[in-house]
Structure 1
Amino acid sequence: MDTRELTAPPSFPALYARSVLSRPSRRLDFPRTRVVLRDQRFDSGRLTEFCRLTGFPVRDEVPLPFPQVVAFGLQVDLMVREPFPFSVVGVLHVQQEFEQTRALHAGERFDLSVRAVGMLPHRRGATVELRTELTVAGERAPVWTGRSSYLARGVDWPGIPRDAARLDAPAGEGTVWRVPADLGRRYGAVSGDVNPVHVSPLTARAFGFRRAIAHGMWTASRALADLGGPALGAARYEVDFGSPLYLPSTVRHVARREADGWSSAVRSRDGEKVHLATRLRREVTAPRGR
């Protein structure tokens, strides 16, 4: 596997401009390149804004989803600069998994790496799976690992599409969330994810959505914050993204205690649509009301 090292975090405007101008590869393959960014620290201002926007308390412990926010630029860099058979503009986040072996702390120095580990046919195109690893200075094994699955619609990938196993989505009354119309722009400013489907009704309609949709990562992070805040030790958090959460919306977060953690779902106000289902494995306290 080739390694391409970055000397600084990628520039999102430059990457998105490049993605608009470049053409997808015609090869039915994906690149075996690892993108690496070394000797980084968490930006305290960005971390604070992320916590305030998603509902985590501002503490020294880093919320379990936050390294994905930091690594997202590397993911975009990989998908834009390497010869993938799709354009990154308009891709949809369909599944996510985070796992950490211990709590991460805001002052720690770390290396990040991202690589593609596979592509699969999907009934609406193809999915690409990216693996992200965070290694803390002085430690050999990754402390934090992320697995991201993105859907590139319209890509004709060989093979028979198979539906991935889905997480159970609890039903019930739950906690009401009121999601504002400007959330996509606000979360995009923190995360750097300014995909057109999130930032404006006009640009979202160009990609087949009637209004702008919330970032899946915001929804997943807000759900985890409701399940007790930062992961203070070893933890695994799995997410299935479902129906688009249009902005603005009123939704319900329904949580169910399990023997080894929690299952939860973000549902439409009437409970009929599932926007997101999650599974958290660790010892946590009861969900906080909102």
Structure 2
Amino acid sequence: MAVIELDSSPSVLDVYSRAVLSALPVVGAKGGTLPDDTLVLRGLRVDPDNLAEYAKVCGLTFGDTLPLTYPFMLTFPVVMKLMVSKGFPFAAVGSVHAENVIEQQRPISVTEPLDVRVHAENMREHRKGVLVDVVSEVAVGREQVWRQTSTFLHQQRTSLSGQPRQDPPKEEIPPVPTSTLRVDQKIISRYAAVSGDRNPIHVSTLGAKAFGFPKTIAHGMWSAAAALRAVEGKVPGAVTYAVKFGKPVLLPATVNLYARRDADGWDLSLRHPKKLYPHLTATLR
């Protein structure tokens, strides 16, 4: 596996320009293997102003340590750079962020210099297409403090496409939500600006329609962060946050937030207020 050292955080604007090109026919022709590269960015510093705006737009508290989901912001440009590389098996634009697992070993101070490593692994077939895990690791010196596995789906026919769908087990949904969240285009445009994730499906009605959505949709990782407001101050420093994304949140929307405690941690979900289908289900352990 080749290690590629980056001099600075990649320009997200440049990365998205390449992502759009890679989604075009011929220009975006992709192979059937994963890149062997590990991208490394050392000495990354947190911008307190960016962190403060992130906390505000996600409804979280701004403090001396990073919110559990914030390192996603720091690793995102490097993840995108890997996903638009020639060796990546499918185009980044149009792929679906299906699942996300964050493993935090300890709280991360705002002032600590961070080293980021990103690689791809575990390409496999799914009844809806091809799945790939993009792994992001954050270290302070030699100590790994945070690790994320983001699973992306490229929708296409595979040898599993004919398999019947397995319905998920029925869930016991509390009759009353913990709270309700209101999200609109203004909030998501602010999140896009602070995160650098300006994917057209989030910020442009025409862009959203081009990828099959009737309206713009909320970022999955905005939803993952916003759900944590229900358990702020109750999450231990060493924790695993496993998220599955369901139906997208069409903007504007009001969603129900549910938080249920059990012996091992918390179960969280964001659901449609009337039909109760999940936009997001998650566990904190």
Q: Normalising by the residue count of structure 2, what TM-score does the alignment of the two structures yield? A: 0.91
Alignment of 1:100-119 (within 5 A): 100-119=104-123
2:185 to 171, 181, 186: 181
- Name the CA distance, whole Å, in 1 between partners of 2:133 and 2:169: 18
- Cα 1:243–1:169 change in 2 (3 A) is farther
2:221 to 188, 192, 217: 217
- Name the CA distance, whole Å, in 1 between partners of 2:191 and 2:284: 23
Q: Which residue of 1 aligns with 2:95?
A: 91
How much has 1:114 moved relative to structure 2?
0.5
Matched, 1:274 2:282: no
User: Which string of whole-angstrom CA distances, capped at 9 and with x for unpartnered residues, describes residues 6-45 of structure 1?
Assistant: 1011111111112222433442111111011001111111
Matched, 1:129 2:133: yes
Q: Which residue of 2 aligns with 1:153?
A: 155
- Cα 1:151–1:103 change in 2 (3 A) is same
- Cα 1:76–1:167 change in 2 (3 A) is farther
Q: Which residue of 2 aligns with 1:244?
A: 248
- Name the CA distance, whole Å, in 2 between partners of 1:75 and 1:198: 18
Q: Identity over aligned residues, as a percent? A: 38
How much has 1:202 moved relative to structure 2?
1.5
Where structure 2 has 5 or more consecutive residues not aligned to the other structure, the ranges are none
Structure 1, 178-187 or 142-151: larger mean CA deviation? 178-187
Q: Which residue of 2 aligns with 1:262?
A: 266
- Name the CA distance, whole Å, in 2 between partners of 1:116 and 1:158: 22
Task: Calculate the aligned-residue CA RMSD, in Å.
Answer: 2.2
- Opposite residue 8 of structure 1, the aligned amino acid is S
How much has 1:135 moved relative to structure 2?
0.6
Q: Which residue of 2 aligns with 1:2?
A: 2
Contact between 2:128 and 2:158, CA under 8 Å: does it hold in 1? Answer: no
Contact between 2:202 and 2:216, CA under 8 Å: does it hold in 1? Answer: yes
- Cα 1:167–1:224 change in 2 (3 A) is farther
- Name the CA distance, whole Å, in 2 between partners of 1:158 and 1:26: 18
- Name the CA distance, whole Å, in 2 between partners of 1:52 and 1:270: 27
How much has 1:238 moved relative to structure 2?
0.6
Task: Give the count of matched residue pairs.
Answer: 278
Q: Which residue of 2 aligns with 1:71?
A: 75
- Opposite residue 66 of structure 1, the aligned amino acid is Y
- Cα 1:224–1:164 change in 2 (3 A) is farther
User: Which string of whole-angstrom CA distances, capped at 9 and with x for unpartnered residues, describes residues 162-195 of structure 1?
Assistant: 9899798652221111111333321110111111
How much has 1:224 moved relative to structure 2?
1.2
Where structure 1 has 5 or more consecutive residues not aligned to the other structure, the ranges are 282-290
Contact between 2:75 and 2:116, CA under 8 Å: does it hold in 1? Answer: yes
How much has 1:226 moved relative to structure 2?
1.7
User: Which string of whole-angstrom CA distances, capped at 9 and with x for unpartnered residues, describes residues 108-145 of structure 1?
Assistant: 011001000121212222111011100102xx241111
